[in-house]
Structure 1
Amino acid sequence: MNLIKRQHGSAFPHVMDEIFKDWRGGSQLVNRVVPPVNIKETETAFNVELVAPGLKKEDFNIEVDKGLLTISSEVKAENVQEDGKYTRREYIHTSFKRAFTLPETVNEEGINANYADGILTLTLPKKEEAQPKAKRLIEIS
């Protein structure tokens, strides 16, 4: 009796790899990965950094509705190569959507965003009453 090692639980890993391999040796399967997010809280704001290289700032849609911050992107492209009698046409469609429930301490009107070097940065300022008060000395009269 021969034992056959399976990869990732698939009975046909090599067959599937060959079917979805393109001519350059890569895979035509696209990993649907949600961009990673870092959230940092300071005394005056929350800073959200979303890593999304290769996009333009026009590709993002950022909305705030009833305390829910939604960041999404959808990019569609078509690549056509004509070489003699052969035509190669590829469609590219990538999208993601991230949603975050905002704490009540966030000033929704003051939210701003910046996209540079593949990182979308959002600054969510805290309301004045949520910020810590400066230390002060009280004199006794």
Structure 2
Amino acid sequence: MSTLMNISKNGSTKNLSHNNWSNFMDDFFGLKTLPTTFPNTGITLPKVNIRETKDDYFVDLAIPGMKKEDINIDLDNDVLTISADTKAEGSENEENYTRREFGYTSFKRTFTLPDSINYGKIEAAYKDGVLSIQLPKREEAKPKPARTIKIS
């Protein structure tokens, strides 16, 4: 398997392969592997995608059927918390009886953010059932282009 990146830890170099790149990103964002459904409870956690560009990180959550008013995003120190609570009631009248169906949905996901985030410029948008949170990197955390240094 090809090496994606070399990580220096306590003076030693570690090869980071494709198989453990996901684990590296999980550790970087403080993620733990969570089940997305819990049997016999009706509880479901939204799936998340985390991607990185040279200037930003993006956290995308699939939460279709929600209204943006139902979604809460909180930042406390370096912990980003995304939660939502919705309540839906339906009623259907038929001949001699009424059937009512209740629906409650709630979730809470937390992410520990790296120190390289510019907390004052975090933005979020909700469109077509996907919540996208842009986490801009601080200038000093952005990769610098390679350059040649002249010897005097």
Match of 1:86 in 2: 97
State the shift of 1:44 in Å. Answer: 1.2
The whole-number CA distance in structure 2 between the counterparts of 1:51 and 1:125 is 21
Match of 1:53 in 2: 64
- The residue identity in structure 2 corresponding to 1:48 is V
State the shift of 1:56 in Å. Answer: 2.1
State the shift of 1:109 in Å. Answer: 1.1
- Alignment deviations for residues 27-65 of structure 1 (CA, whole Å, 9 cap, x no partner): xx7731101101112221111111111222222111111
Residue correspondences, number: 113
2:127 to 89, 110, 116: 116
The whole-number CA distance in structure 2 between the counterparts of 1:78 and 1:51 is 22
- Alignment deviations for residues 68-93 of structure 1 (CA, whole Å, 9 cap, x no partner): 00111110021122334312222211
Match of 1:99 in 2: 110
* Structure 1, gaps ≥5 residues long: 1-28
- The residue identity in structure 2 corresponding to 1:59 is D
Kindly, what percent of the aligned residue pairs are identical?
A: 50
Superposition pairs for residues 1-141 of structure 1, below 5 Å? Answer: 31-138=42-149
* Structure 2, gaps ≥5 residues long: 1-39
The whole-number CA distance in structure 2 between the counterparts of 1:89 and 1:47 is 40
- The residue identity in structure 2 corresponding to 1:82 is N
TM, length-normalised to structure 2: 0.66
TM, length-normalised to structure 1: 0.71
The whole-number CA distance in structure 2 between the counterparts of 1:30 and 1:53 is 20
- Alignment deviations for residues 89-114 of structure 1 (CA, whole Å, 9 cap, x no partner): 22211111100001111111111111
- Alignment deviations for residues 4-25 of structure 1 (CA, whole Å, 9 cap, x no partner): xxxxxxxxxxxxxxxxxxxxxx
The whole-number CA distance in structure 2 between the counterparts of 1:43 and 1:82 is 56
The whole-number CA distance in structure 1 between the counterparts of 2:64 and 2:88 is 16
- The residue identity in structure 2 corresponding to 1:102 is L
- Secondary structure of the 1:103 match is coil
Larger radius of gyration: 1
